[in-house]
Amino acid sequence: MPSHQALSAELHNSRFMKAVRREPVDTTPLWIMRQAGRYLPEYMAVRNKVTFMELCKTPELACEVTVTAQQVLGVDAAILFADLLPILEPMGIDLEYLKGEGPVIHNPLRQGKDVDRLQALQSMESVDYVFQAVRMIRSALPANIPLLGFAGAPFTLASYCIEGGGSKNYIHTKSMMYNDPGAWHELMTRLVDTVSLYLKAQIQAGCQAVQMFDSWAGCLSPSDYRRYVLPYTKRLIEAVITDAPVINFLTGNPALLPLQKEAGGSVMGLDWRIDLQDAWKIFGYDVAVQGNMDPVSLYADLPVLRQRAADVLNAAERRPGHIFNLGHGVMPDMNPNHVKALVEIVHELGAR
């Protein structure tokens, strides 16, 4: 058994932590990816005064938006307000968030030889603002609400470093992977080493569990995932799971589910491209599952939204170990009342 950090009784007995351990719960716990985002007026009130990067790097503000989102929604867990990419800055990446366009990297690693520009971090001092935020959030949250930390999975971070931003076909990433396996190994190793320190430090500062986002791994075939990604993701999860439960979230390709399970994690994070019932059968019932309502369902009229949430709950068959979530992040133009309604619906219909 992993030697997890001791939890307070309130956190240990929280709905979310019980579901992670696949123990019975009074009702299905839920949280929502991007729950502290632009669809929330409370977030925009803070965000309108600072840039996105300033928000990430100011612990008081990151704490405020994290705690407020949990409170106004009534969700069963909070997720640290931060982003996937700022950890890359001290490693040598020149990162900027452009208005309306998202993250851009000005010095992408396009050639194998560029990988030397990305240095593994020996200490977490340069991202101390994240751990300051974690400590503040932990002491501001209700005693029975777990705080989730997170980081990008090695493949998703590597593709950001190589492509320099979003990508449709991942041509640069796959070219390096296929043509220069030595450089690929070096890049992935530096990311695994740095991200495992980063997640362990988040746990040390007060997170009860962490989610690893492999948002882009779905572009890979199962054989390429097995060869170029699985060994690294597996090593990362093994290093972190001794400290706290890990949610392994991957999107875009249900053919990867058996390999996602093989990579490890206490909870498998699912997108909506497969029915939860089928996915859980593939994973096996010895692991918890998080998901997986299509985020676009939140645009539906409330009676339809209710039915769609019920469909996901029914697919989970009231097995212990289901954490309700969307299959991906909530969209920025969402009506916050629909998100609040979803929380009530899941708690009502999930009641045992």
Q: What are phi and psi of 124, to 5 degrees?
A: -100, 15
CB 267 within 8 A of CB 18: no
Tell me which of 18, 22, 34, 174 binds ligand CP3, using CB under 6 A. 34
| Size, binding site for ligand CP3 by CB under 6 A | 20
Nearer to ligand CP3, 82 or 183 (CB): 82
Binders in 106-135 for ligand CP3, by CB under 6 A = none
Minimum distance from residue 318 beta carbon to ligand CP3 (Å):
27
Q: Which residues pair with 273 in a beta bridge?
A: none
Tell me which of 18, 22, 47, 347 binds ligand CP3, using CB under 6 A. 47
Stretch that binds ligand CP3, among 34-42, 196-204, 266-274, 292-300 (CB under 6 A): 34-42
**If binding is defined by CB under 6 A, does position 161 make contact with ligand CP3?**
no
Cβ burial 67-96 (10 Å sphere, 16+ → b, else e): bbbbebbebbbbbbbbbbbbbbeebbbebe
Q: Beta 246-250 vs 209-214: how paired, if at all? A: parallel
Nearer to ligand CP3, 37 or 154 (CB): 37
**If binding is defined by CB under 6 A, does position 155 make contact with ligand CP3?**
no
Task: Kindly state the tokens that stand for 207.
Answer: 């997170």
Please give the single-letter amino acid code of residue 120.
A
Minimum distance from residue 152 beta carbon to ligand CP3 (Å):
7
Comparing CA positions, the residue from 247, 242, 253, 280 lying closest to residue 265 is: 247
Binders in 310-329 for ligand CP3, by CB under 6 A = 328-329
Question: Any alpha helices (H) in 85-166, and if so which ranges?
Answer: 128-140, 154-163
Tell me which of 16, 131, 150, 283 binds ligand CP3, using CB under 6 A. 150
Binders in 272-311 for ligand CP3, by CB under 6 A = none
**If binding is defined by CB under 6 A, does position 38 make contact with ligand CP3?**
yes
**If binding is defined by CB under 6 A, does position 215 make contact with ligand CP3?**
yes
CB 195 within 8 A of CB 228: no
Catalytic residues: 34, 38, 47, 83, 160
Using CA atoms, how far apart are residues 339 and 336, in angstroms rounded to an integer? 5
**If binding is defined by CB under 6 A, does position 74 make contact with ligand CP3?**
no
Using CA atoms, how far apart are residues 170 and 173, in angstroms rounded to an integer? 5
Q: Which residues in this chain contact ligand CP3 in the complex, by CB under 6 A?
A: 33-38, 47, 52, 79, 81, 83-85, 102-103, 150, 213, 215, 328-329
